[in-house]
A and B are shown apart, each in its own frame.
Chain A
């Protein structure tokens, strides 16, 4: 069973702090990883994707992948109240459907 695990939260951080969202996956064959942001009642919005070990930065967001530890993370710098949402981690493993984690609810406190 291919699984993606996330802490459901809520993760509360003060405005301006760094929010760190973590995700582990069970299938060592997983090849590509995605972070989606989902506001309450809205659809998932792609934030980042990462395929290679290391860091990938896009504005205030940094995705980190460690395949040896089967660990993916998303860092949000200078967190804003508008970042408050559920963050879904997802992984592809070969030719199989995208596996989603259950999501981490982030609350940025002004």
Chain B
């Protein structure tokens, strides 16, 4: 089983809203990732968690705040986003950091 789940599938939010994206995996993977993907571009790494600790923050603006409550769950808290933040947000997990990554279905975010 290589399933990573993400909720919600779609999200529309205003620039003053606060929302959260959720990612879950039950494969026993110890590394989890957030990516942002714009149309016709490859995924762009945002954050990496390894053993529930933030390992990498790719200079992401503070309006994006990740959280890893446990080894199976990864959240991305959103606040005061801009329209240019509209994108497909992908979660991925791997057995260990820098091993084969499996992607979730993504959350399509639209910021109005």
Contacts and interface: CB of A to CB of B under 8 A. Distances in A.
A and B: bona fide binding partners: yes
Interface of A: 32, 34, 36, 41-46, 49, 88, 92, 94-98, 100-103
A96 B98 contact: yes
What DSSP secondary structure best describes chain B's contact surface?
A: loop
Contact of A100 (B2, B43, B58): B43
A95 B98 contact: yes
B105 A42 contact: yes
B32 interface: no
B98 A45 contact: no
Given A44-B43, A97-B48, A103-B42, A92 B106 contact: no
Given A97-B48, A98-B45, A103-B42, A43 B98 contact: no
B100 interface: yes
A45 B103 contact: yes
A49 B88 CA distance: 24
B98 A101 contact: no
21 contacts: A41-B88, A41-B108, A42-B105, A43-B88, A43-B106, A44-B43, A44-B103, A46-B2, A46-B101, A46-B103, A49-B100, A94-B98, A97-B45, A97-B58, A97-B98, A98-B45, A98-B98, A100-B42, A100-B43, A102-B41, A103-B42
Contacts of B97: 95
Interface of B: 2, 41-43, 45, 48, 56, 58, 88, 90, 97-98, 100-106, 108
Contacts of A49: 100
B2 to A, nearest CB: 8
A43 B104 contact: yes
A67 B30 CA distance: 29
A43 B105 contact: yes
A44 B41 contact: no
A97 B100 contact: no
B103 A34 contact: no
Contacts of B42: 88, 100-103
